[in-house]
Structure 1
Amino acid sequence: MTSTVEYRRILLEGAAVQVVREGDELVAADGRRVKAAEASHLPPVRPSKVIAVHLNHRSRVAEFGVSLPPAPTYFHKPVSALNAHGGAVVRPEGCKYLNYEGEIGIVIGRTCRNIAPADAAAYIAGYTVANDYGLHDFRDTDAGSMLRVKGSDTLCPLGPGLVTGWDFRAKYLRTYVNGTLVQDGSTDEMEWDMHYLVADIARTITLEPGDVLLSGTPAGSRPVRPGDVVEVEAEGLGRLTNHIVTGPTAIRPDIGAQPTESEEVVSTAFGGDWEFRGVRAPRR
């Protein structure tokens, strides 16, 4: 059985440094050590792109009451959305429907193009924990691309580290809000596994070292509000922790599409389980 190694990127005395986790400590190549709990984390990788699958976990599909398409579909999160373990996730002033989505990120290790799923493992550097936050107030804009829903600043935390030698099969994936379990899934409920996703994207898009593919979230995504602490834990990969804050300014009202509270927005934010009988969702 392959042993796992966890690499992290942190700020160490003002410089971005890659370190290796040894128990409760992080060790730099020059021998400097810092307590993991005291370190200022950076995203564990520097991707040229972040690509995410729409639906993959069967519990999420059942929650929405829909059917999976015959093949996965995807969206893009710009790298300007990257965030790290311990970082603040910003809900802009005037927005209400910021949802967590605990996921596992696949990190590419070699340039990858036009490969078979059976060969994908050789192109994967390792895996990381991710939280694919969605700002559903903008669900009615961008013609289905979800650019602002999923691509706004701070909405792509990754970490704490990149773990190599990890087997993705039969691993739990859990999300907690203020210590309460809110998502409890498993990689075994994924319709398309990690190798399939990499090979599928690489048919037409070249994947470069450091690129990240987000592999989908289980049921239970719901809105969070400023002050909440959200933790995503994947078995063998660690626990990614972030807190929610309010943005200092509201969305500019004098340009562009504005946050909405349509039936689609509220239904999606609450997992498709909201009953629309002339009653609006509670303000958070």
Structure 2
Amino acid sequence: MRIVRGHSEGRIVWGHLEQGDTVHVISGMLGERTGETLPLSALSLLAPAEPSKIVCVGRNYLDHIKELGNDKGDLPTEPGIFLKGPNALTEPGGTVAYPAWTENFHYEGELALVIGARASNLTPENALLHLAGYTCANDLTARDKQKPDLQWFRAKAADRFCPLGPWLETELNPADLKVQTRLNGKVVQDSRTANMIFPVIDILVYVSRYVTLEVGDVVLTGTPEGVGPMQPGDAVEVEVEGVGVLKTVIGAVR
């Protein structure tokens, strides 16, 4: 099942997207069908989540650790966590202005998780039961602001630094999915979730030990090797196997 969220005639709509382009309107992300249907073309898609927080895992693929020169010591023994706020969300197909305050603006494609049931102190046995679904994310990063700061606030959590979508896929096994990023049609990242240092279940168990994950919260699972800079006018596509394609356009410097 695919769950979509979008604007339609001045209101925000959640719905089940069935084969073809029929959207069955539902009362909320996990709500029941209302009986109303719409064509997908009637919706301007929005990020398929309404989070209180976006929890992100950094350095979760060995080859990405190597490409950034962070492999001189021991490998991580627990997930490295940072936060984005809801201000960072960007709709699928949206345009993100190139920030005037960075000279090294990067894409980072990855698998994202959306929480469907309040989660605290999860176990490996029940972790996946607390998910509403899976989607694509682009962890936009001002790389030149990452090292100078005490926290990655500017580098990772600025406005519109988290494109998300295009929808939620509810039935998916996250253990071994292809994650690919294309820059202007050229493949720049190409890996599988099986290459994660910390798989999805471990991430959920770890994060929920320290913070309660609320319904609608988003968890980003890390990016593979191949990150790189974008320029105004570039188009970035993040594709996760079994989910779909998230497209983001980089706008003029602002």
> TM-score normalized by structure 2?
0.90
Name the structure 2 match of 1:28.
Answer: 24
Bigger CA radius of gyration: 1
Q: Is the 8 A contact 1:57 1:218 kept in 2?
A: yes
CA distance in 2, matches of 1:109, 1:227: 36
Name the structure 2 match of 1:82.
Answer: 89
Name the structure 1 match of 2:51.
Answer: 47
CA distance in 1, matches of 2:8, 2:22: 10
CA distance in 1, matches of 2:215, 2:148: 32
Identity of aligned residues (%): 37
RMSD: 1.5
Name the structure 1 match of 2:32.
Answer: none
State how many pairs are aligned.
242
Pair 1:152–1:94, CA change in 2 (3 A): closer
4, 13, 31: which one pairs with 1:8?
A: 4
Counterpart amino acid of residue 90 in structure 2:
N
Pair 1:162–1:63, CA change in 2 (3 A): same
CA distance in 2, matches of 1:189, 1:78: 27
CA distance in 2, matches of 1:124, 1:133: 24
Following TM superposition, by how much is the alpha carbon of 1:26 offset from its aligned partner in structure 2, in angstroms? Answer: 4.1
Which runs of at least 4 in structure 1 moved beyond 3 Å after TM superposition?
none
CA distance in 1, matches of 2:14, 2:225: 34
Q: Is the 8 A contact 1:171 1:186 kept in 2?
A: yes
Q: Is the 8 A contact 1:82 1:158 kept in 2?
A: yes
Task: Note the 1:82-101 alignment, pairs <5 A.
Answer: 82-101=89-108
Q: Is the 8 A contact 2:175 2:200 kept in 1?
A: no
Residue 112 (structure 1) aligned with residue 112 (structure 2): no
Residue 126 (structure 1) aligned with residue 133 (structure 2): yes
Q: Is the 8 A contact 1:19 1:26 kept in 2?
A: no
CA distance in 2, matches of 1:232, 1:173: 7
Name the structure 2 match of 1:158.
Answer: 164
CA distance in 1, matches of 2:20, 2:246: 15
Question: Per the alignment, in what secondary structure is the counterpart of residue 203 of structure 1?
Answer: helix
Counterpart amino acid of residue 123 in structure 1:
H
Question: Per the alignment, in what secondary structure is the counterpart of residue 74 of structure 1?
Answer: strand
CA distance in 2, matches of 1:140, 1:49: 23
> TM-score normalized by structure 1?
0.81
> Can you list the C-alpha shifts for 1:79-109, whole angstroms capped at 9, x where unaligned?
1111110111121225221100001111111
Counterpart amino acid of residue 196 in structure 1:
D
Residue 239 (structure 1) aligned with residue 245 (structure 2): yes
